Amino acid sequence: MGGARLHRRGLLAGAIAISAAPFAPRLGAAQSADITTTVLARGLEHPWGLAFLPDGRCLVTERPGRLRLVTRDGTVGPPIAGTPAVDAVGQGGLLGIALSPSFARDRLVFLSFAEPRGGGTNGTAVFRGRLSASGAALEEGRTIWRQDPPIASRLHFGSRLVFDRTGHLFVTTGERFTQMDQSQNGANTLGKIVRITAEGATAGDAGGARGWNPAIHAIGLRNVQGAALHPETGRLWVSNHGPRGGDGLYVVQAGANYGWPLISWGTHYDGRPVNGGLRERADLVQPLVHWTPSIAPAGIAFYTGALMPAFRGNLFVSALAAQTLVRVVLDGETVVRQERLLGNVGQRFRDVQQGPDGALYLLTDARDGAVLRLAPQGA
């Protein structure tokens, strides 16, 4: 992604104005300082997930199946050895990434991916490996969890990984598109939020009493590609893809049902209403906010840094179809207002993370994808 492709376009309401590289966007009137958006690294093929190491370097997954180490000056390393074989079809491939909460001691890296299962089927799976001292390989690697059942589909794999404060791992899954009704079936892990141990054992805290699969934490999701823990409450927040509209932001509660496909603020792609157009039901959770038309929300991150104090406590949502970074201003679990940033860059944003330096880092979903850094000028 060369700088020439990130050219100035007509400004959108609430968007940040981007100029030639290095980008020099200005914050809206509600903000307190100028910021600059720069390209940290480029030449990544459909980067999907981003995780920072304690020393400020980062690991980036590429959907075709590669994991790369990016240095603080933006140098992209060769593919790291020892990653799992992926089914890089459609939306599938190497996807989410999370570091062990004890990474400084154990150097464990967790990856979610579309795993080929034979006979044309595949499914979301979680792989664990130990990053070598040189950073060149994942050692002692093994697949610790598999979505069940495998499906012949190119779509809706999820799949973010987030550790909770007890050291258990949340895994978000999709319902594989062709199996939307299975999102309501607690016997399987399609369209669910799953909770496992770092060794892969089931640790669902909702399924047993309901006769669900013991790994299940919550049901009724369509395709969750954004997940983050709230920095104060420790609760899991997720962004969920709706069909044609009806994307949603949710606070997740163990045992809750998030409604798909019983309710939706969107429609099917052919324009048919979902379940007769039903949007609400008393026993099904409503989103904190829904995006209709669809923005296609992907990664999400809470901002806690000191570098950009105007953003503290805000949630950021990277959007694919809307080609924007959505800033969500919150009062507890209430959405106060939203602002769309970087809408004039003309890129699909796959992930957003806060770096150890307090800047925000974004991945652009493109064949020649990039890592962008958003920070005050001179910082």
Task: State how beta strands 297-302 and 315-319 pair.
Answer: antiparallel
> What region does 249 belong to: left with phi over 0, alpha with psi -120 to 50, or beta?
beta
CA distance 158 to 40: 26
The distance in angstroms from the start CA to the end CA of the chain is 23
Helix (H) or strand (E) holding 210: helix 207-210
Catalytic residue numbers, as ranges: 156
- Residue 127 · residue 81 · CB < 8 Å: no
- Written as six digits, the tokens of 50 are 């981003």
**CA nearest to 291, candidates 343, 250, 257, 329:** 250
Phi, psi (degrees; rounded to nearest 5) at 309: -60, -25
Angle at 100 between CA 327 and CA 235, to 5 degrees: 45
**CA nearest to 174, candidates 127, 238, 236, 229:** 238
Return the SS3 of 209. helix
Beta strands of 180-273 (E only): which ranges? 193-196, 216-218, 224-229, 236-240, 247-251
- Residue 182 · residue 188 · CB < 8 Å: yes
- Written as six digits, the tokens of 319 are 């959007």
Return the SS3 of 93. coil
Contacts of 21 (CB under 8 A, 6+ apart): 3, 6, 38, 39
Return the SS3 of 29. coil
User: Could you say which DSSP state residue 347 is in?
Assistant: -
CA distance 280 to 285: 8
